Amino acid sequence: MSERQTEILLADGSVIADDWVWLRLPESAEPQKKSAGKVVLFRLTGDSAAPAEVVAGVAIPASGRVLLPLTIWLARKDELAPRLAAGEIGVWLDSFEEPQALVDSLADINTLPVIGLNFPRFIDGRAFSVAFLLRNRYGYRGQLRALGDVLRDQLFFLRRVGFDAYAVRADLDIRAAAASLADFPEVYQSSTDQPLPLFRRA
């Protein structure tokens, strides 16, 4: 299953044509996010994602830029090495996936031109922390893209933690949404966009 996002909003408020194909796992192979009892499951990360044969069987577009699910990337990165070198491979994480796994899979995280973080529902705010970690802990400098349920009223926060591209949900007016990147004139606390809290600046 793949989807071409035709336009994408950038942190400076511009809207540009987008040629990345967002590849997803087949519906049926979506990882089961179990909720029951065990501690490890609280992380909602403990489960293996799609079965190996599904991962092996997913058709990756033969050319052009592709944003791959983490599981596919991890399982098939050797076969994808030439395309990574050609700048055609990006990887996206679902909200329960660990960025460490992606970081460990590459000699240099910055060989990825794009990392996507998915918002399955906009109220699932885990990717705000993951974005912060990618930028500040793992030193990622490429494009960090918000995917999924990306709405206007989250843009200000998304920009602050380090996202610089926003795949605003297709049914919304992406150009009107851009205004919300600047909803507030000042901020108190430090984050990716502003490493100093107000009390060290004012």
Partner 1 sequence: MYRYNDYDRAIVKARVAQFRDQTRRFFAGELSEDEFRPLRLQNGLYIQRHAPMLRIAIPYGLLSSEQLRMLAHIARTHDRDYGHFSTRQNIQYNWIPLEQVPEVLEKLSSVDMHGIQTSGNCIRNITSDPYAGIALDEIVDPRPWCEILRQWSTFHPEFAFLPRKFKIAINGAEHDRAVVRCHDIGLEVYRNAAGELVLRVFAGGGMGRTPIIGSVIRDNLPWQHMLTYCEAVLRVYNRYGRRDNSYKARIKILVKALGAEEFARQVDAEWEHFKDGPGTLTQAELARVAAHFTAPAYDAAAGGESELAARAAAERPFERWLSRNVRAHRQPGYRAVVLSLKPTGKPPGDVDSDTMDAIADLADRYSFGELRVTHEQNLVLADVRADQLYALWGELRKLGLATPNIGLLTDIVCCPGGDFCSLANAKSIPIAQAIQERFDDLDYLYDLGELELNISGCMNSCGHHHVGHIGVLGVDKSGSEWYQISIGGAQGNDTSLGEVIGPSFAAEQVPDVVEHLIDTYVDNRQPEERFLDVVRRLGVEPFKSRVYANVAGAKRAKEVEHV
Considering only residues 76, 77, 122, 142, which one is a binding residue for partner 1 as defined by CB under 8 A? 122
Smallest distance from the beta carbon of 81 to partner 1, in angstroms? 30
Distance between CA 92 and CA 147 in Å, rounded? 9
Q: In terms of Cα–Cα distance, which of 142, 153, 90 is closest to 119?
A: 153
Applying CB under 8 A, does 3 fall inside the site for partner 1?
A: no
Considering only residues 48, 87, 129, 141, which one is a binding residue for partner 1 as defined by CB under 8 A? 129
Distance between CA 71 and CA 88 in Å, rounded? 17
Distance between CA 180 and CA 152 in Å, rounded? 6
Considering only residues 28, 53, 107, 195, which one is a binding residue for partner 1 as defined by CB under 8 A? 195
List CB contacts of 175: < 8 A, sequence separation 6 or more.
15
The Cα angle at residue 138 between residues 117 and 184, in degrees rounded to 5: 60
Which one of the spans 15-23, 54-62, 84-92, 150-158 is the region binding partner 1 (CB under 8 A)? 150-158
Considering only residues 17, 39, 59, 62, which one is a binding residue for partner 1 as defined by CB under 8 A? 39
Applying CB under 8 A, does 31 fall inside the site for partner 1?
A: no
- The count of C-alpha atoms lying within 13 angstroms of the C-alpha of 175, restricted to the half-sphere facing its C-beta, is 2
DSSP state, 189?
A: S
Applying CB under 8 A, does 198 fall inside the site for partner 1?
A: yes
Applying CB under 8 A, does 84 fall inside the site for partner 1?
A: no
By the criterion CB under 8 A, which residues form the site for partner 1? Answer: 33, 35, 39, 42-44, 122-126, 128-130, 132, 136-137, 151, 153-154, 156-158, 160-161, 172-173, 180, 183-191, 195-200, 202
